[in-house]
Amino acid sequence: MCGIFAELFNFVGAILIIMEKIKYFVENQAFGVCTRLGEKFKISTSSIRLYFIYISFLTMGSPVIIYLILAFWMNIRRYLRQRNNPTIWDF
């Protein structure tokens, strides 16, 4: 009986670790729109995300389209910057 609980505890721990990795990827690597806006306007990222959620509920999801457009634009800018400034490893 004790072995079952130990295995269950290990399983739940593994799931929590995977969820943390997914959370880190989404928050820091996926788009970073809220983080970039927070850095630009010197506002905390958590408050920007909170306002985004409130506005999304009030307007029935239309800010999601704006968020995706901003994310696409940021990725295009990053790509163009890398292309215009090649490193020694790109040759």
Q: Give the largest Cα separation in the chain, rounded.
A: 63
pLDDT band at 86 (very low <50, low <70, confident <90, very high): low
Q: What is the model's pLDDT at position 28? A: 64
d(CA 24, CA 16): 12
Beta strands in 2-71 (DSSP E): none
**CA triple 63-66-70, angle to 5 deg:** 140
Contacts of 37 (CB under 8 A, 6+ apart): 43, 48
Amino acid at 86: P
Domain boundaries, the chain: 30-83
User: Which residues have a Cβ under 8 Å from the Cβ of 32 and sit 6 or more positions away?
Assistant: 71, 74
pLDDT per position as a tens digit, 20-32: 888 777 666 666 7
